[in-house]
Amino acid sequence: MKETEVPQSALPTNPARITVPPGLDNVIVATTHISDVDGASGRLTYRGVAISDVVERYPTWTALVPWLVTGLPDAEPAAWTDGPPRQILGTADPMARLAMLVWAAGDGAVLDTPLESAAFVQSLPAQYARLVGRGAGKPEDPARAFLLAMTGHAPTPAEVSALNAYWVLAAEHSLNASTFAVRVAASTGARLPEALAAGIATLSGPLHGGAPTGVLSQLAALEQEADLEGALWRLLERGERLMGFGHRVYRTEDPRAARLRGVLHTLGGAGGAEHASRVEQAALAVLARWKPERPLAVNVEFYAALVLSALGLAAPDCPVTFACARLAGWTAHYWEQRATGRLIRPLARYTPSP
């Protein structure tokens, strides 16, 4: 599709003159230097670096955050020491707890630059672990702190590096729904913690970051099934979606899924890798018959769910684990949007109720 620059002054004021699809498919609403998702060829880059090189260059999420947020290869955020008390979290759902933590931890904090924000964001997974976990102590690596707190046992080095690989791969993905929500909040001049809370809320939906829960329950339901293709076909006939498949932008396998398939193998086949692989093959065959005109391939959530489950994380904790990673990308977009100085305020076409 050809991109056409329309000067602000030339934009029509009559909403009837510009119509975009309700899901904003193929509509470009921002310019970004942070990442690029090439859906046709299945390529993903962070700040111009191919994702396969990013994971080699940044073995931990903590190492990735300063560069991703600031764009500066040598950025070194100061250590973040503040944190709210445990009781602020109450008994809410994990995503609500993370949103409350981010909001409370950022209350009154000086977050005036990308570098200060990187320090804040780097501290959040370990803060979350400390608040919800079982006596996590203060290990250096947030991935280790997180696993220790969420599973109650000390993770192996392979498990820590698997979570880091997942966090690096999930840190950023251009203008997906939650990043758009963060940019909308940023465009109003909201502070970073509030904008991150908007991202967390948006990521919680089952079509976005909530998908691993659906992936794991679909895999469990298919465990005793001899005829996988028949069972998957019946799910589609009932109007259900195959969780972990399809993507708004990719028309190929999601490059992050391919990397996570490899990460799953480093965990020694835990988490039902063989069953998952059979379901994946059956699902691809069934989807190709179901929607021949629409390529529906495996997305990041399918293998993310399996990796997180192999790491001992419970299904309800998968979205929050994803959100911790994405705090990095959201923060980068927050600053990019603030730099435009432009309020995001589209129009709706009014039609009287029938």
In the block, tokens 């829960």 appear at: 213
**Residue 153 annotated in active site:** no
Under a CB-based contact definition with an 8 Å cutoff, are residues 142 and 122 in contact?
Answer: yes
Encoded one letter per residue, x for contact with ligand ACO by CB under 6 A and - for no contact, window 248-287 reads: x---------------------------------------
Encoded one letter per residue, x for contact with ligand ACO by CB under 6 A and - for no contact, window 282-321 reads: ---------x--x-x--xxx--------------------
Which positions from 94 through 133 interact with ligand ACO, judged by CB under 6 A? none
Please say which residue, 299 or 309, places its beta carbon nearer to ligand ACO: 299
- Residues sharing a CB contact under 8 Å with residue 207, sequence separation 6 or more, in sequence order: none
Q: Smallest distance, Å, CB 17 to ligand ACO?
A: 25
**Residue 43's beta-bridge partner residues?**
38
**Residue 301 annotated in active site:** yes
CA 164 to chain centroid, in Å, comes to 14
Residue 211 sits in the site that holds ligand ACO (CB under 6 A): yes
Q: Smallest distance, Å, CB 274 to ligand ACO?
A: 21
Encoded one letter per residue, x for contact with ligand ACO by CB under 6 A and - for no contact, window 17-46 reads: ------x-----------------------
Size (the chain), residues:
354
Residue 200 sits in the site that holds ligand ACO (CB under 6 A): no
Q: Smallest distance, Å, CB 24 to ligand ACO?
A: 10
**Of 11, 7, 2, which Cα lies nearest the Cα of 347?**
11
| Residue with the shortest CB distance to ligand ACO | 246
- Residues sharing a CB contact under 8 Å with residue 2, sequence separation 6 or more, in sequence order: none
Q: What is the 3-state secondary structure (H, E, C) of 118-162?
A: HHHHHHHHHHHHHHHCCCCCCCCCHHHHHHHHHHCCCCCHHHHHH
**Of 107, 97, 151, which Cα lies nearest the Cα of 127?**
97
Please say which residue, 43 or 208, places its beta carbon nearer to ligand ACO: 208
Q: Which of 159, 172, 301, 336 is catalytic?
A: 301
Residue 334 sits in the site that holds ligand ACO (CB under 6 A): no
Task: Count Cα atoms within 13 angstroms, Cβ side, for 126.
Answer: 21
Of 64, 100, 196, 242, the one binding ligand ACO by CB under 6 A? 242
Q: Smallest distance, Å, CB 260 to ligand ACO?
A: 12
Amino acid at 323: A
DSSP-assigned letter for residue 100: H
Query: Which helix (H) or strand (E) element contains residue 318?
Result: helix 318-340
- For the annotated catalytic residues, the residue numbers are 247, 301
Q: Which residues bind ligand ACO (CB under 6 A)?
A: 23, 207-208, 211, 236, 241-248, 291, 294, 296, 299-301
